Amino acid sequence: MGANVYAVIGSDDYIVDVAVRKIVGDCAGLETIDSRTSTAAEAQLSDIGRADSSLMEAPFLYPEKATWWRNVHFLPSAGKKQCSEEVKESLERFAAKLAATNLPDNQKFVLSGPSLLPTSIFAKTLKQGVQMVELDAGRGKRSAAALSREAVVRAVDYAEEMGLKFAHGAADAFVAVTGPDARSQVNELGKLDLYLGPARREISLSDVQAVTSPGAGAESAIWSVTDAIARRDVAAAMEAMREFEGESGFAVMMASTVERCFRQLAVVKDAQMRDAGCPPSLSPWQFDKLCAAARRWSLQELRRARHRMAALREDVVSGAGDAVSRIGIEIARACTRR
* pLDDT tens readout for residues 214-272: 776 554 556 778 889 999 999 988 888 877 666 556 778 788 889 989 999 999 999 99
Quick one: 150 and 198 in the same domain? yes
Q: Which domain, by its residues, includes 170?
A: 144-335
**What does the alpha-carbon distance between residue 68 and residue 33 come to, in Å, rounded to a whole number?**
6
Quote the mean pLDDT of the chain: 87
Express as a percent the part of the chain with pLDDT over 90: 58
Average pLDDT over residues 167-192: 88
Asked whether the predicted pLDDT for residue 177 surpasses 60, the reply is: yes
Phi, psi of 175 (to 5 degrees): -70, -30
Q: How far is CA 61 from the centre of its chain?
A: 38
What pLDDT does 330 receive? 92
Q: What is the pTM of this model?
A: 0.65
65-70 sheet: strands from edge to edge: 30-34, 65-70, 107-113, 5-9, 131-134
Q: Are residues 170 and 286 in the same domain?
A: yes
Whether residue 289 sits in one domain with residue 172:
yes
Whether pLDDT at 285 is above 70? no
Same domain, 29 and 76: yes
- Domain holding 132: CATH number? 3.40.50.300
Are 50 and 97 members of one domain? Answer: yes
Among 140, 156, 184, residue at a domain's last position: 140
The reported pLDDT for the residue numbered 180 is 84
163: phi then psi, degrees, rounded to nearest 5: 80, 20
Residue 287 or residue 320, greater confidence:
287
The residue with greater pLDDT, 334 or 314, is 334
Work out the average pLDDT over 279-302. 84
**Domain shared by 117 and 163, yes or no:** no
Q: Provide the domain count of the chain.
A: 2
User: If pLDDT is split at 50, 70 and 90, which confidence band does 320 have?
Assistant: low
Instruction: Give the pLDDT confidence score for residue 145 in this predicted structure.
Output: 61
The rounded distance, in Å, linking the Cα atoms of 231 and 216 is 24
**Amino acid at the residue 213:** S
Distance CA 204, CA 208 (A): 6
Band (pLDDT 50/70/90 cuts) for residue 142 is: low
User: Which among 105, 140, 175 is the end of a domain?
Assistant: 140
Residue 38 CB contacts under 8 Å (≥ 6 apart), including other chains:
44, 46, 47, 74
Q: Are the C-beta atoms of 324 and 251 separated by less than 8 Å?
A: yes
Give the total residue count for the chain: 338
Segment of 14-23, 176-185, 276-285 carrying the highest mean pLDDT? 14-23
Let me know whether 102 and 149 are in one domain.
no
Asked whether residue 158 falls in the same domain as residue 135, the answer is no
Which pLDDT score is estimated for 125? 95
**How far apart, in Å, do the first and last CA atoms of the chain sit?**
71
Q: What is the pLDDT of residue 93?
A: 96
Question: Which of 104, 125, 140 lies at the terminal end of a domain, its last residue?
Answer: 140
Q: Which has the minimum average pLDDT: 16-30, 184-198, 277-291? A: 277-291
Q: State the DSSP H helix or E strand holding residue 89, giving kind and residue range, or none if neither.
A: helix 85-100
pLDDT(80) > 70: no
Q: Do 120 and 173 share a domain, yes or no? A: no
pLDDT for res 14: 92
What band does 203 get if pLDDT is binned at 50, 70 and 90?
very high
Residues 100, 60 share a domain: yes
Instruction: Say yes or no: 216 and 265 in one domain.
Output: yes
Give the mean model confidence (pLDDT) for residues 52-78.
Answer: 91
pLDDT, position 247: 59
The pLDDT of residue 193 = 95
Residues 324 and 327: their CA atoms lie apart, in Å, by: 5
| Angle subtended by helix axes 299-317 and 250-273, to nearest 10 | 160
Give the whole-number percent of the chain exceeding pLDDT 70.
Answer: 89
pLDDT band at 77 (very low <50, low <70, confident <90, very high): confident
Residue 226: the pLDDT is 87
Percent helix, strand, coil in the chain (nearest 5)?
55, 10, 35
User: What is the per-residue pLDDT across 87-125, written as a single tens digit (0 to 9) for each?
Assistant: 999 999 999 999 999 999 999 999 999 999 999 999 999
Q: Are residues 62 and 184 in the same domain?
A: no
**Is the predicted pLDDT of residue 141 greater than 70, yes or no?**
no
CATH of the domain at 194: 1.20.272.10
Q: What are phi and psi of 5, to 5 degrees?
A: -120, 130
Helices then strands, counting H and E runs in the chain, come out as 14, 7
Answer whether residue 206 shows pLDDT above 80: yes
